[in-house]
Structure 1
Amino acid sequence: MLPEWVSLLPPWLVFGLIGGGFASVLVAGVFLVGGRLFPDEPTPSAGRIDGSGRRRAEMREYLRAISEPFAEDHTVRGETVEFYLPRRDVALTFDAQAYFRLERAGTYTVLCEHEMPVHALGRRLPFDVPNVGVDSGVGRGSDPVDAAFDHLNLSRAASPEEVKATYRDRVKTAHPDHGGSQEEFKRLQEAYATAREHAADRAR
């Protein structure tokens, strides 16, 4: 039974309100499904990739070059850090608050600034590391642009359109909603952002 005040409203207004409600739910559903099928592309601020993604890629390659096992985006004592070295109980983070909390909890933590050159990481680690230079095996000369194009299986001379098309194709399998992992999707986004920036610079 409808409330009495509803019967006082003109029928066209009641039908309009009901129809508007259904239309709103339908549009929201379309946007939700569209967002899952076609996830947003990474959009670096002011058209530039921020230092975090690039620095993470360089640190990842550095740790591989010194043969140090690591876990990425790992939770240590309630704090999520960018890299954790389980064999050494060493955490690497960009978050100053996490750094101080982990240090107080007894985990050796390295606070990495986004502008920190990757070779400086070796001097901050509490153990001896092999002497690796920028041309001694860290990626292809530790160049994040080369690493990004390699990850996309593209030539460094690829156009912005080729980079975008490859990203859209790869995201269909890398996205967690389509069977990929969160780490795989994040690496794809980082590679795409770096490659897109380089391709756009070349096209100017």
Structure 2
Amino acid sequence: MVVDTLPPLPAWLLIGIGVGTLATGGVVALFYFGDRLLPAGADAAAAGASIDGDARRRTEIRSYLSAIDERFREDHSVDGDPVDFYLPDREVAITFDAQQFFRLERAGIAAVLCEHELPGRGLGDRLPFDTPETESASESARGRAGGGFGTEGAFGTADKPGANPVAAAFAELELPRSTDEDAVKRAYRERVKDVHPDQGGDEEAFRRVREAYATATEYCRRADGGAEPPEPRSAADRSRGAAATARARRARRERRASRKRR
């Protein structure tokens, strides 16, 4: 029986098959490793940007506190809760976290909320004591128009330079400006139910509501104490209002301490 045999394949065909196989494998490997490596690189870049922003903000606050000769400590524990900055001579905590700010306020500790958008030089308008004018703050004040507590970021950050953060805060909570603090709290609880990320809300909307609550609450407290005039205030007026707020906070702490001793 004669067995027919196939002729051997041409060399050029074998070479073409080999080259095609290698090229296909290279493309598959490129997509595989690219899919695994590029997202990690993007996440690292985003994390790096966040770290850089936080470091820049800390640097600005350090520079401002040093410029006004105010002693400070970083990551200092206050009432068992580490805060970003603490002023030991004034017993004032500075925090970047709105929830921590509310905890400190409830504990009767003088606290200042510093949002991501607030420049370091804007901190002076929020501190509950007299602060000297720095050169950078004076230049900023000369170039700024309108606004809120007399400054763009006075306890609440406006979306536009010169916008009134108090009016924006009450608008965010859907309340008139004449509302008292209890009504602000009720409105905040209702709004948080709609915008909280755990309830399917948006993180940006949640942040706006928290900052609006902080701004509106501070406005109501100052209005109740007669320290908040309806028009933008001068630097001297802001200092007197901040001093009155600090005295009220110290009085509250002393009353709490007195009740505990009893």
TM-score (norm 2): 0.34
For the pair shown, the structure with the greater C-alpha radius of gyration is: 2
TM-score (norm 1): 0.43
Of structures 1 and 2, the one scoring higher in RCO (CA 8 A, sep 6+) is 1
